[in-house]
Chain A
Amino acid sequence: MDNPGFLTRLKVGLGRSRERLTSSVGGLFSPLRAVDPAMLDELEERLLAADLGVAASRKLVDELKKRKFASSDEVLPALKAGMVDMLPPPQHHDGVKPWVTLFVGVNGSGKTTTVAKVGRLLKSAGHGVILVAADTFRAAAGEQLEIWAERLDLPVIRQRTGSDPAALVFDGIRAARAQGVDDVLVDTAGRLQTKKHLMAELEKVRRVAARELPGAPHSTLIVLDATVGQNGLVQCREFHQAVPLTGIVLTKMEGTAKGGIVFSIAEELRLPVEYIGVGEKGEDLLPFSPAAFVEALFEND
């Protein structure tokens, strides 16, 4: 597919409208004018190509339509500012101990790797951390987390495949309280949001956690693959209904996917992105920065 760099195209476009601007009035003052429709189309396409979806893209572009700019150089910064504003700030941890975080999501989104990475991050910040391998469905999921735990020198609680994930969470919270641990990170089995019984199982995990420790789980993070399309919103909606979500971890951001679906999610559910995953290594996890994220969205591939 022929796809010249966006910035190049944009610059050409900008150049065109700039010429028009300066030649039209020819005065010292550049009057405020509406954005060139061709440029708006181009921007909308760029947003669509980043998985923002039709509604969110249109909304952002419509905002630009309403405004007038002294120069077309101001359009892109205005769009970016509007996008940054759409993203809610991350949640604050308020020192509750132990702080229980549930990681949920569809199959293959990167939950196990994310749990390990977050564990590493918290440990390096001086927290005591316990990992709970509550994915008792996928073959070798427990082993996978155990290998991570060894690498990172973190304790992990696991049982054999097929056991009750709620029981594991129960054990994890008990152990955390007994040992005075700060954070309990719970890996759960991947499930498609269309599987009613598996969503019910997740509800049970949450219920058991809340019963054992009032207020738990303190965070429930959905792990989203950045390559996901419009179904990402559906996933969040359905998981949110089963276990109220507090935030998002966006994984696999080191590829060419932009993860633009988080804008639609922010619009509808006000869920903040907490972390982004940028690789397969333990340290490949970054706290989310809305400005940097928006900037990356407009970078060339």
Chain B
Amino acid sequence: MLDGLSEKFQRIVKKIRGEGTLTDANMEEALGEVRQALLEGDVNVDVVKQFIERVRERARGQEVMLSLSPAQQLIKVIHLELMRLLGGADAAPSIPGRVRDGLNLKDFPSVIFLVGLQGSGKTTTASKLALYLEKRGLTPLLASTDLQRPAAREQLRILAQQHKHPYFEGTSSSVVELGRECLNQARLKGFNPLILDTAGRLHVDEALMDELVALRDSLRPSEVLYVADSMTGQDAVRSSQAFNARLNLTGIILTKLDGDSRGGAALSIREVTGKPIRFAGTGEKPGDFEVFQPDRMTSRILGMGDILGLIEKAEETVSIKESLKLQEKLRKNRFTLEDMLGQIRQIKKMGSFADLMKMLPGGLGVPAGMDLDDRQLLHTEAIIQSMTVLERENPDIIDGNRRKRIASGCGRPVQEINQLLRSFAEMRKMMKRFRPGKRLAGLPRI
């Protein structure tokens, strides 16, 4: 599924890569693919509609940048818009000593509620959050008001014991009283904050939702965090909206991100609640819990690497004039080893080869299984540098004697020179197949 999506994106990119500008027609086609990608990524259908509308508006208003192909431009707009939606600009309120990673802990003791549907991962999250806050110098108390699920409190007690977190069980059989008991315990023993795990419930269960509201009114938590399963589909909108309407959530924790769901629910929940996603659960171990990173989520939903980072690097390092000159050469099939050397140096300027590859979604124009070794790039550079300018411009003249000389000049075996010349000839053959005016497809084969 991951591959499927990134393939789809590559198809979009390929489709409009050759075209000079973003026209209404090619943009609509690309947006159609984006719509499908988002739907397959479980973003809610209404959220997708609004999203596409905004991207369309933004893309239209974009200045045409010479350094970017239309496809790249569109991807950039989509990426930025997704980032914005996922809270890229959510600044955590910064009140020193009171707020940690965006959590408002102004009271003493502060109360953090974990709420959500059954099975979303509240109990596991409670224990993970406790560890996280302990590492940051706080002394949280774990407690649960889940009188619903058999052995729910037992689960939390065992987790607390295992990881040596303070835990309080209480004796009341009413949820609100039990909550008060836990808060008193925290106050009495000086724990802060109180992390309260609540029973999982369906947003349509009026009685249980009322109970949660009563608990909230009684304990006045400074944080009401909605724990959401990242594998949730279209229903994420309805449930999170209902929880938010009744409880006025303060944030969201996304769980089970170690699975392979695209996690489009994150986008849906953000959009309908407007509340920031604070943390992400990323594994079975207690330490698998981190501050939510919108950029990573963006790439995940779209099923692509850090294409934006790559585009930015390209913008920084590739001069427009150079790239136009190169295009012209390619068009006339006059690409030489000298040009290849220029390309290698550009790549080197952009960072390590492996780093660049990591930013690409599953092999955008790069042959699978290709050895991505920076040393190989260095060797290639050395080999070309050991050639005369004449040889670089006319590789056909490089005979056996010349090869031996080049080999001793750069300190690489003759076989490598042969290999380079073979790949270069192969590359030129491939380029002949490009229609005139087409842009260079990805990075050169080396």
Shortest Cβ distance from B306 into chain A, in angstroms? 21
Chain B residue with Cβ nearest A234: B1
Q: B residues 242-280 with Cβ under 8 Å of A? A: 256, 258-262, 264-265, 272
Interface 0/1 of A184-198, CB less than 8 Å to B: 000000001111000
Shortest Cβ distance from A18 into chain B, in angstroms? 26
Shortest Cβ distance from A289 into chain B, in angstroms? 21
Q: Which of B119, B158, B262 contacts A107 (CB 8 A)?
A: B119
Is the pair A194, B259 in contact by a Cβ cutoff of 8 Å? yes
Interface size class of A (residues with CB under 8 A): 35 or more
Shortest Cβ distance from A189 into chain B, in angstroms? 10
With A143-B150, A227-B236, A228-B233 known as contacts, the answer to whether A110 contacts B259 (CB < 8 A) is no
Is the pair A229, B265 in contact by a Cβ cutoff of 8 Å? yes
- Give the most central of B119, B259, B260: most A CB within 10 Å: B119
Interface size class of B (residues with CB under 8 A): 35 or more
Q: Considering the chains assembled together, what is the distance between the CA atoms of A228 and B114 in angstroms? A: 21
Complex interface: stretch among B39-47, B128-136, B355-363, B394-402:
B39-47
Q: Which of A107, A110, A141, A229 contacts B264 (CB 8 A)?
A: A229
**A183 at the binding interface (Cβ < 8 Å):** no
**A74 at the binding interface (Cβ < 8 Å):** no
Q: Which of A143, A192, A229 contacts B233 (CB 8 A)?
A: A229
Q: Considering the chains assembled together, what is the distance between the CA atoms of A109 and B117 in angstroms? A: 11
Q: Considering the chains assembled together, what is the distance between the CA atoms of A146 and B154 in angstroms? A: 12
Question: Which residues does chain B contribute within 8 Å of A54, judged by CB atoms?
Answer: 36, 39-40
Interface 0/1 of A134-163, CB less than 8 Å to B: 000011110110111000000000000100
Q: Considering the chains assembled together, what is the distance between the CA atoms of A300 and B316 in angstroms? A: 53
**B241 at the binding interface (Cβ < 8 Å):** yes
Q: Considering the chains assembled together, what is the distance between the CA atoms of A194 and B283 in angstroms? A: 11
Chain B residue with Cβ nearest A142: B151
Question: Which residues does chain B contribute within 8 Å of A256, judged by CB atoms?
Answer: 203-204, 235, 238-239
With A48-B39, A139-B158, A229-B261 known as contacts, the answer to whether A255 contacts B239 (CB < 8 A) is yes
- Give the most central of B117, B120, B234: most A CB within 10 Å: B234
Q: Considering the chains assembled together, what is the distance between the CA atoms of A4 and B309 in angstroms? A: 41
Q: Which of A51, A139, A193, A260 contacts B260 (CB 8 A)?
A: A193
Is the pair B234, A48 in contact by a Cβ cutoff of 8 Å? yes
**A62 at the binding interface (Cβ < 8 Å):** no
Is the pair A234, B203 in contact by a Cβ cutoff of 8 Å? no
**B294 at the binding interface (Cβ < 8 Å):** no
**B229 at the binding interface (Cβ < 8 Å):** yes
Chain A residue with Cβ nearest B1: A234
- Give the most central of B41, B159, B204, B232: most A CB within 10 Å: B232
**B202 at the binding interface (Cβ < 8 Å):** yes
Is the pair B234, A225 in contact by a Cβ cutoff of 8 Å? no
**B172 at the binding interface (Cβ < 8 Å):** no
Q: A residues 97-116 with Cβ under 8 Å of B? A: 106-110
Chain B residue with Cβ nearest A190: B119
Is the pair A231, B235 in contact by a Cβ cutoff of 8 Å? no
Question: Which residues does chain A contribute within 8 Å of B260, judged by CB atoms?
Answer: 192-194, 231, 234
With A228-B232, A231-B260, A256-B238 known as contacts, the answer to whether A110 contacts B118 (CB < 8 A) is yes
Q: Considering the chains assembled together, what is the distance between the CA atoms of A138 and B151 in angstroms? A: 11
Q: Considering the chains assembled together, what is the distance between the CA atoms of A70 and B8 in angstroms? A: 39
Q: Which of A3, A139, A230, A280 contacts B42 (CB 8 A)?
A: A230
Chain B residue with Cβ nearest A139: B158
Question: Which residues does chain A contribute within 8 Å of B124, judged by CB atoms?
Answer: 107
**A261 at the binding interface (Cβ < 8 Å):** yes
Shortest Cβ distance from B210 into chain A, in angstroms? 17
With A54-B36, A192-B256, A254-B202 known as contacts, the answer to whether A231 contacts B42 (CB < 8 A) is yes
**A252 at the binding interface (Cβ < 8 Å):** yes
Chain B residue with Cβ nearest A1: B46
**A175 at the binding interface (Cβ < 8 Å):** no
Is the pair B159, A139 in contact by a Cβ cutoff of 8 Å? yes
Is the pair B45, A143 in contact by a Cβ cutoff of 8 Å? no
With A107-B119, A144-B151, A256-B238 known as contacts, the answer to whether A229 contacts B158 (CB < 8 A) is no
Is the pair B154, A227 in contact by a Cβ cutoff of 8 Å? no
**A171 at the binding interface (Cβ < 8 Å):** no
**A120 at the binding interface (Cβ < 8 Å):** no
Nearest 10 interchain pairs by C-beta: A229-B233, A108-B119, A229-B42, A231-B261, A140-B155, A139-B158, A147-B150, A257-B235, A143-B151, A144-B151
25 A-B contact pairs sorted by A residue (CB < 8 Å) = A1-B272, A48-B39, A49-B44, A49-B234, A107-B256, A139-B154, A140-B152, A141-B151, A143-B154, A146-B151, A161-B158, A225-B119, A227-B233, A227-B236, A228-B232, A228-B233, A230-B1, A231-B262, A232-B231, A252-B117, A252-B202, A255-B117, A255-B203, A255-B235, A301-B238
